[in-house]
Homo-oligomer: A and B are copies of this chain.
Amino acid sequence: MLEILYIIAITVEAMSGAIAAGKKQMDPFGILIIACVTAFGGGTLRDLVLDNHPLVWVGRPDFLIITCSAALLIILVRPWIKYLTEAFLVLDAIGLITFSIIGAQKTLQLGHSYLIASIMAVFTGAFGGVIRDILCNQVPLVFRKELYGSISFLAAWMFLGLTMTSLSMTACIVMTLITGFALRILAITMNLELPKFNFDDQNKKG
């Protein structure tokens, strides 16, 4: 089941990358690269940091073909993208939680602590989008808007907590997915954000 969810997740992330690249007037080659980087960037960063080789997409090139196809599809259907924004947000929420669960699980399997596992969940879930925004020359959205990284973090701890109970792995995954998904949709619909603080520049105040 995780594999199916993983394929949905990389497909959606690739599409979000392709849309961001297209809005920056990139050519098809740039769009393909940004799509792949968005889909695999978080997991790549996690595996580099944990020295876990080969990387997912190096070992499974078929996943690359899926993300490239998703990006090409976005180029083809670009006039209708604006009607699909809500569908994307829903799919992206599934992708975020899936990536977070996979990131936490893989890190545990490599013998690391729960704290590192929860951080790697956020790397896997949110850092594809961070790298996408850096390549598109924007302050990463994840750090500024909506409960995104923090929901990834919460979902990771919920999943880690559930694995300590006697529940089956499938039950842990399903419960985390439903709760995380609900939280994320709630955050979007209620426009929830963490509070932001005023760090006045000394010069402006002076």
In the bound complex, do residue B194 and residue A28 qualify as a contact, i.e. CB atoms below 8 Å apart?
Answer: yes
* A34 interface contact, C-beta 8 A: yes
Main secondary structure of the interface of A (DSSP, over half): helix
Closest chain B residue to A153 by CB distance?
B29
- Number of this chain's copies in the assembly equals 3
In the bound complex, do residue A21 and residue B143 qualify as a contact, i.e. CB atoms below 8 Å apart?
Answer: yes
In the bound complex, do residue A82 and residue B202 qualify as a contact, i.e. CB atoms below 8 Å apart?
Answer: yes
- List 22 interface pairs A-B (beta carbons < 8 Å), by A numbering: A22-B199, A24-B143, A24-B144, A27-B143, A28-B195, A29-B153, A30-B140, A44-B49, A50-B53, A51-B51, A51-B54, A58-B112, A61-B113, A61-B115, A61-B116, A64-B119, A78-B198, A82-B202, A85-B202, A134-B134, A135-B139, A137-B137
Give residues in A with beta carbon < 8 Å to B: 19, 21-31, 33-34, 44, 48-51, 53-55, 58, 61, 64, 75, 78, 81-82, 85, 112-113, 115-116, 119, 122, 130, 134-140, 142-145, 149-150, 153, 193-202, 205
